[in-house]
Amino acid sequence: MPIASPSSGDGSATSSPTPPLVRIPDLNAHVGAVVTVRGWITHLRSSGKIAFLVVRDGLGTVQAVLAKADVGPAIWDRYGQLTQEASVALTGTVRADPRAPGGFELTLSDVVVTGGSPIDYPIQPKEHGVDFLMDHRHLWLRSPRQAAILRVRSEIEQAIHDFFYARNFTHVDTPILTAAIGERSGLVSTEYFDEGTAYLAQTGQLYGEAAAAALGSIYTFGPTFRAEKSKTRRHLTEFWMIEPEVAFADSADNMRLQEDLVSYLVERVLSRRRRELDELERDVSKLEQVVPPFPRIDYTDAVEMLRTRGSSIEWGADLGAEDEALLVEGADRPVFVCNYPKEAKAFYMKENPADPRTVLCNDCLAPEGYGEIIGGSQREDDYDRLLARIVAEGLPVDAYGWYLDLRRYGTFVHSGFGLGLERCVAYICGLPHVRETIPFARMMNRLRP
If the CB atoms of residues 68 and 161 are measured against its own copies, the closer one turns out to be 161
Q: Out of 31, 67, 214, 392, which residue is the one contacting its own copies (CB under 8 A)?
A: 214
> Cis omega (within 30 of 0) on the bond before 6?
no
Q: Out of 45, 233, 408, 433, which residue is the one contacting its own copies (CB under 8 A)?
A: 408
Distances (CA, A) of 253 to 246, 290, 380, 391, 413: 9, 19, 16, 29, 11
Show the CA angle centred on residue 204, arms to residues 199 and 210, nearest 5°.
115
Q: Residue 295: count other Cβ atoms within 10 Å of its Cβ.
A: 14
Residue closest to 244 by CA, chosen among 220, 213, 216? 220
| Backbone angle region of 248, left / alpha / beta, with phi > 0 → left and psi within -120 to 50 → alpha | left
CB of 179 to its own copies, least distance (A): 5
> Applying CB under 8 A, what is the total number of residues that bind its own copies?
109
The alpha-helical segments, DSSP class H, found in 216-352 are: 251-272, 274-279, 284-287, 299-308, 321-328
CB of 307 to its own copies, least distance (A): 34
| Alpha carbon distance 19, 70 (integer Å) | 18
Q: What are phi and psi of 21, to 5 degrees?
A: -85, 125
Cβ proximity of 223 and 422 under 8 Å: no
If the CB atoms of residues 70 and 260 are measured against its own copies, the closer one turns out to be 260
Cβ proximity of 202 and 235 under 8 Å: no
Local structure of 337: helix, strand or coil = strand
| Contacts to its own copies from residues 230-269, by CB under 8 A | 237-238, 240, 246-250, 252-253, 256-257, 260
Report the b/e string of 235-260 with b at 16+ CB within 10 A: bbbbbbbbbbbbbebebeebbebbbe
Compose the 382-401 pattern: x for residues touching its own copies by CB under 8 A, - for all others: --------------------
**Is residue 4 a contact residue for its own copies (CB under 8 A)?**
yes
Cβ proximity of 424 and 265 under 8 Å: yes
Q: Out of 13, 35, 41, 241, which residue is the one contacting its own copies (CB under 8 A)?
A: 41
CB of 251 to its own copies, least distance (A): 9
| Contacts to its own copies from residues 43-82, by CB under 8 A | 57-59
Select the span of 70-78, 84-92, 313-321, 323-331 touching its own copies (CB under 8 A): 84-92
If the CB atoms of residues 153 and 423 are measured against its own copies, the closer one turns out to be 153
CB of 324 to its own copies, least distance (A): 26
**Is residue 354 a contact residue for its own copies (CB under 8 A)?**
no
| Contacts to its own copies from residues 138-177, by CB under 8 A | 138-139, 141-142, 146-147, 150-151, 153-154, 157-158, 161, 165, 167-168, 170-177
**Is residue 114 a contact residue for its own copies (CB under 8 A)?**
yes
If the CB atoms of residues 218 and 319 are measured against its own copies, the closer one turns out to be 218
CB of 294 to its own copies, least distance (A): 15
If the CB atoms of residues 211 and 326 are measured against its own copies, the closer one turns out to be 211
Question: Amino acid identity of 227?
Answer: A
Q: Out of 1, 69, 74, 354, which residue is the one contacting its own copies (CB under 8 A)?
A: 1
**Is residue 185 a contact residue for its own copies (CB under 8 A)?**
no
CB of 394 to its own copies, least distance (A): 20
CB of 313 to its own copies, least distance (A): 32
| Alpha carbon distance 365, 357 (integer Å) | 22
> Cis omega (within 30 of 0) on the bond before 244?
no
Q: Out of 20, 23, 70, 317, which residue is the one contacting its own copies (CB under 8 A)?
A: 23
| Alpha carbon distance 150, 412 (integer Å) | 39
**Is residue 315 a contact residue for its own copies (CB under 8 A)?**
no
CB of 260 to its own copies, least distance (A): 8
